[in-house]
Amino acid sequence: MELTQLAKLIRDVPNFPKPGIIFKDITTLISDADAFAATIDYFVDRYRDQKIDKVLGVESRGFIFAGALAYALDAGMLVVRKPGKLPYKKKSITYSLEYGTDSIEIHEDAVTPGERILLIDDLLATGGTMGAVANLVESLGGVVAELAFVVELDFLKGREKLAGRPIFSLVHF
């Protein structure tokens, strides 16, 4: 399946989660078996020979892709969650958003120093969350192999906030 076909399966939802926002809904892509398989296959083709130790999914839509990709790459899977969701000892980081701050957490023993970690999420917007995730992984001694996204909203310039880090996105809007 061509990338243009995948892009057409991503639904626009106007005024969500607030007026003036056009939300890119990936549920229409992942509900199509061929499109979901093609999405995972594109990532597998890219990362197959990169010696990825673990694939980290960012809460919550990143989990969808991380599990399938980790399985296909014969890698472990990690999760980063919002505060209060992880049961064991954790490390957290607080980061700035356009209006205020947010925090994310990971188990403190999730990453072994030197492991190559692929970070994946459904969408790159402003880059704040993924930048914080990368910093968190590196603080545990992990090596960020790449930041991967199904969708990138180019007009929000999230790449600029993530400058210096390798980034790959399948579909651009």
- Token pair for 57: 């999914």
Task: Please give the average pLDDT of every successive group of 10 residues along the chain, which has 173 residues.
Answer: 97 95 96 98 98 97 98 98 97 88 97 98 96 97 98 96 94 98
Domain extents in the chain? 50-172
> In this structure, what are the phi and psi dihedrals at residue 108, rounded to the nearest 5 degrees?
-65, -20
Buried b (16+ CB within 10 A) or exposed e, 71-100: ebbebbbbbbbeeeebeeebbbbebeeeee
* Contact yes or no for 158/129 (Cβ under 8 A): no
- Token pair for 7: 């892009």
Structural element, H or E, at residue 109? none
pTM, 2 dp: 0.96
Please identify every residue annotated as catalytic: 61, 98
Q: What is the pLDDT of residue 143?
A: 98
Q: Which of 93, 82, 89 is nearest to 136 (CA)?
A: 93
CA angle 108, 110, 114 (to 5 degrees): 105
Q: What is the pLDDT of residue 100?
A: 83
Q: What is the pLDDT of residue 163?
A: 82
Q: What is the pLDDT of residue 95?
A: 93
Q: What is the pLDDT of residue 97?
A: 80
Residue 164's Cβ-side half-sphere holds a number of Cα atoms within 13 Å equal to 4
39-51 tens-digit pLDDT: 999 999 999 999 9
Q: What is the pLDDT of residue 99?
A: 75
User: Thinking of the domain 50-172, which architecture would CATH place it in?
Assistant: 3-Layer(aba) Sandwich (3.40)
Q: What is the pLDDT of residue 60?
A: 94
